Structure formats: structure tokens, C-alpha cells
Amino acid sequence: MTARDARAELEAVYRAALAAVAPERALHGALRADRAGVAIAGRAVPDGARVFVLAIGKAGGALAAAAEATLGARIAAGFALVPDGGERALARCELHVGAHPIPDERGAAATREILAFAARPGPDDALLVLLSGGASSLLCAPAPGLELADVAATVRALLAAGASIDELNTVRKHLSAATGGRLARAARARRIEVLAISDVVGDRLDVIASGPFAPDPSRYADALAVLARRDPERRVPATVRAHLAAGARGEREETPGPDDPAFARTRHTLIANNATAVAAALDAAAERGWRAVAMPGALGGEARRAARSLVALADACTAERPVCLVAGGETVVTVRGMGRGGRSQELALAAAIAIEDRSDVALLAAGTDGADGPTDAAGAFADGGTVARGRRAGVDAAAALSDNDSHGFFCREGGVIRTGVTGTNVADLAFVWVS
């Protein structure tokens, strides 16, 4: 199979995975409205109860549109907060836009409105929450005493330091007025039904979207511990450090824990996750006559290290060839250079260097949201000829990797994968084809 053929086939497998986690498809089996009434995740909404819809995250626009198509006039009021590019035409949900991953004032203003919106449903009503990845950045109204600029600087510093999503959200929950279970406290509805698309490996409810409706097991001291590990150069603003230190001393109220009465009214249901996408990719690979093998846990840690691990797994694989290894998860990148890129493109570039001049291995790595880092790419394709193609285009693979300029490399070499905003988010995928 030629490089062009390998890329086309792996892209087809990737797009099959995206289709499996499309918000409309995910919501279809979880929300029902007919003559018998409304049911959310199999549980009927009492007759006479008003239904309020709150959609937040990268899939928020598509989920809100799908909910409108199902519920129609049964929606008493709705509110959707999505990142740029995630907008949808909505009839019953008020649409707001914020920035991702670095928060902005639009998101902060919308978060303050969401806190008020959550209090609108009465004790006999139902609040349907459609939650997806990206909401951690969007729900960015700062806790009292903090400025949004300080929160933004903190997020920027931790991302550059290679903080994991768990570490990042532990800090963000203690800087936010809405996440870490605080939205559940603000809501007055008798029933809060959260339908979530998870972008978190392990699907922890307190980590998905920083858990606005979930009890928070982390504490201010945990957030300080993250800074101690990830910010030894103290790039995080002093005001944020002081805020967290005051919380650790008991001078600020902790995020609500599992015993808080707000959570007795709240139920979470996962409607799609990374495993959904991996399963669809395995099916698509098998349909092509390949042996399809899942690689649990192979996509995590530093992107460069994950790339080398995937290549090693490909070499060690004893399955009948051709084989397609499928891995799902989320890596991190510790930024030391001045280039542009994202974790999937960095992984692909590191893999390209590892498989240089080989004809038996090809790899595609991409995010399911269509946006890899601060670029317009979803990810990249690499094979044994990638390094040479880059050289002919005037760009050196090793130098680009050292400068964290994977996007610049693949734009010139030609391996960049672009999908546009997909409207969903279940973290990242990597596919390794071995002949």
C-alpha cells in the first residue's frame, strides 16, 4: 500500500470513529419525547414539570440542536455556551460563545448568566444538562477576589508546563465560581439530569468539564501541590497562589464534596466517550480486512514518549499482518520551543523520526474535536517517507520537533490533517498501520 493509500485508509478509520461519537448520535438513545411524555436516560420526567436545557462545551451546540429537535416546545428555556466555531442555529436555547483553551471575558460573562439560569427552574422542574469537554475553559467566571487575567495566565502556564487534564482541572476548579460542583449548588430544580460526552480517560465525573455538577474530591492543598510540581519557576500569578494558600488554610470555602445535599438531586449518564470512538475505529479497520487491535493505555504522558511506545508496540505486535493498532487517550506536551503545534501533531512528528525510511509502518494521530493545540489542524499523518518529504520542502524534522513546531513542519511537508470543528470531543486517537 502506498503512502497515499495508507493515509486515505487511516483517515477513513478516523472519520468512522468521529461519526460514532457525533452528538446527535450520542443523544439519540438517551433522550425521548413522545405522547407518553419526556424521558431522560430512561427515567420519565413527571407530567407538568418544565424542562430547562443547559448545554456547555465543544459539543454543546450540536447537543442543544439535537435536544431541540427531540423536545421542541417542551423546552421551557435553554442556554448554550460553546467555543468559537461550535455555534449552531438554535431556536429555543440562547447561544453564547467563549474562548478555548485560554478563557476570555465572553466566557466569564456567560458563566455568570449560567449561574443565574441554573437557579430559574423551580423545585418541581427538571434541568437537563448537556455537558462535554471544553466546558472547563468556558465556565471561567473567577472566584471572588480573582481577576480573569490571573486565571488565564495560570491556564497558559500550566498548559506550557505539560500539566495533565486532571492536574489542570484540579487547579481550575479552585479558581472558578461555577465548576467543582458549584453549579449543582446554584441549581434549584428537583431533578438535574446530566448527559455527558466524556473527553477524559477513565470518565471521572469530577474531571469531565471540571465537574460543575459533580462532587469534588480535590482540595485547595491539591491545587497547591500541582503548582509545586508544574510551576517551579512561579509563572502562575502571585494572586492565584495567595488565593489557593488561603483556601488551604481554611480561609475560603472548599468545593462541595459528596455529602453536599445538592448532589442528591443530580444524576450523570455518559452518552459517549473515547472507548466509543475506539470501538468504532476497530470495526472500521476490521471491515478493511485488517487485524484490528486496541492498545489500552498507550496514549498518555509526553507525546514524544507515546510516539516511541506506539512504534515499539507495532514492532512487537505478533498479530497477523496487516494490522491496525488503535489507541485512545490524551498526551501532553512540555513546551520548550517557539513553534506552533499540538499534542497529536507532536506525536506524529516524533513517530515520523522513529520510522524514517521504513515502508512497513504508517501512523495517524488526531484529536476528535478537530483542533490540535492552537492550530487549525486536527492532527497529522506520518510514514517512512515523512522526514524525507520534509527535507525536500526545506524543513528539518528533528529541528522542528526540538522547537515544538510540529504544525509548521506538517504544513510544509503535507501530512497535516484538517477536519474543521467536529462538534464533539472524546480526547485523542492514534492509528498505527503495520504491513
Cell of 101: 483553551
Q: For residue 318, what pLDDT is reported?
A: 77
Q: Does residue 206 share a domain with residue 78?
A: yes
The answer as to whether 326 is a domain residue is yes
Compute the distance between CA of residue 421 and CA of residue 293 in angstroms, rounded to an integer. Answer: 28
For residue 29, give the amino acid letter: G
Using the predicted structure, report yes or no on whether residue 107 has a pLDDT greater than 80: yes
Helix boundaries (H) for 317-418: 343-354, 386-392, 397-402, 406-413
pTM of the model: 0.95
The answer as to whether 49 is a domain residue is yes
Q: Does residue 289 share a domain with residue 185?
A: no
Q: Does residue 284 share a domain with residue 417?
A: yes
Residue 317: pLDDT band (50, 70, 90) is confident
pLDDT one-digit tens code per residue, 33-84: 998 899 999 999 998 899 999 999 999 999 999 999 999 999 999 999 999 9
Angle between helices 3-20 and 274-287 (to 10 degrees): 140
The answer as to whether 170 is a domain residue is no
Q: Does residue 310 share a domain with residue 194?
A: no
The domain total for the chain is 2
Q: Does residue 311 share a domain with residue 266?
A: no
Compute the distance between CA of residue 307 and CA of residue 329 in angstroms, rounded to an integer. Answer: 13
Per the CB < 8 A criterion, the answer to whether 137 and 100 are in contact is yes
Buried b (16+ CB within 10 A) or exposed e, 329-362: bbbbbebeeebbbbbbbbbbbbbbbbbeeeeebb
On the 0-12 / 13-18 / 19+ scale of CB atoms within 10 A, 388 is middle
Query: To the nearest whole number, what is the mean pLDDT of the chain?
Result: 96
The CATH number that applies at residue 300 is 3.40.1480.10
Q: Does residue 347 share a domain with residue 380?
A: yes
Buried b (16+ CB within 10 A) or exposed e, 246-275: ebbeeebebbbeeeeebbebbebebbbbbb
Using the predicted structure, report yes or no on whether residue 275 has a pLDDT greater than 90: yes
Q: Does residue 323 share a domain with residue 310?
A: yes
Give mean pLDDT, residues 404-408. Answer: 99
pLDDT one-digit tens code per residue, 215-272: 999 999 999 999 999 999 999 999 999 999 999 999 999 999 999 999 999 999 999 9
Compute the distance between CA of residue 66 and CA of residue 24 in angstroms, rounded to an integer. Answer: 6
Compute the distance between CA of residue 394 and CA of residue 331 in angstroms, rounded to an integer. Answer: 28
**What range does the domain containing 213 cover?**
22-141+176-218+255-272
Collapsing DSSP to helix, strand or coil, 113 comes out as helix
Q: Does residue 323 share a domain with residue 266?
A: no
CA dihedral for 132, 102, 96, 127, sign (positive or negative): positive
Q: Does residue 198 share a domain with residue 86?
A: yes
Residue 3: pLDDT band (50, 70, 90) is low
The answer as to whether 329 is a domain residue is yes
Q: Does residue 265 share a domain with residue 336?
A: no
The CATH number that applies at residue 185 is 3.40.50.10180
Q: For residue 2, what pLDDT is reported?
A: 73
Per the CB < 8 A criterion, the answer to whether 222 and 150 are in contact is no
Phi, psi of 431 (to 5 degrees): -125, 125
Q: Does residue 351 share a domain with residue 281?
A: yes
Indicate the range of 175-179, 187-191, 236-240, 299-303 predicted with least confidence: 187-191
